[in-house]
Amino acid sequence: MVKKASESLVVMTELVLPNDTNNFGNLMGGRLMYWMDIAAALAAMKHCAAPVVTASVDNISFETPIKIGNVVHIEAKVTRAFNSSMEVHMNVWGEDAIQQYRYKSNEAYYTFVALDPNGKPRSINALEPETDDEKKLFEGALRRRQIRLILGGKMKPEDADELKALFVK
């Protein structure tokens, strides 16, 4: 079965409360990554209709702190499905609901693996991108997958054909 990227969309909204912040009154990175993990896992589950586990989290740069009392918006969508694994892309914004402005906080890629009832990786639905943005993310997903598999010790750099093609003509 083929599912559209848009079918996996998950939008999560949270309010930053005192227990979520550091001494500077900013949202703690670990709390944000926890919310992102849940939003991304839900997007992955919507795509594959199966339980999933987080296989890896790509590097995250926190561009702008999100202040206490502000709102966090997380939009998560599957970019590409492989055999048992899926890449999920997220955009994160902060919002000052009183002054009424939004600001970009960060974006990230998480990878999830679908599991069968025995806890083993299982095959999943293919994914069809529709919009230009979805197509761009779909195309880049193969290269990002190769980078994270090399970093995770699961692929030899010499086998990463898509990556090599960027540098060797």
Ligand X SMILES: CC(C)(COP(=O)(O)OP(=O)(O)OC[C@H]1O[C@@H](n2cnc3c(N)ncnc32)[C@H](O)[C@@H]1OP(=O)(O)O)[C@@H](O)C(=O)NCCC(=O)NCCS
The one-letter code for the residue type at 66 is: I
CB of 44 to ligand X, least distance (A): 12
CB of 24 to ligand X, least distance (A): 28
Residue whose CB is less far from ligand X, 47 or 148: 148
Q: Are 79 and 87 in contact (CB under 8 A)?
A: yes
Residue labelled with tokens 């586990």: 53
Residue whose CB is less far from ligand X, 69 or 121: 121
Residue whose CB is less far from ligand X, 12 or 52: 52
Binding region for ligand X (CB under 6 A): 53-56, 82-85, 111, 113, 121, 148-149, 152, 154
CB of 39 to ligand X, least distance (A): 15
Residue whose CB is less far from ligand X, 28 or 33: 33
First to last CA, the chain: 36
CB of 139 to ligand X, least distance (A): 17
Residue labelled with tokens 């994914």: 127
**β-strand 126-128 against 2-4: which pairing, if any?**
parallel
CB of 144 to ligand X, least distance (A): 9
C-alpha 71/C-alpha 133 separation (Å) is 25
C-alpha 17/C-alpha 27 separation (Å) is 8
Residue whose CB is less far from ligand X, 16 or 41: 41
> Residues near 16 by Cβ (< 8 Å), separated by ≥ 6?
27, 66, 67, 68, 69, 70, 71, 72
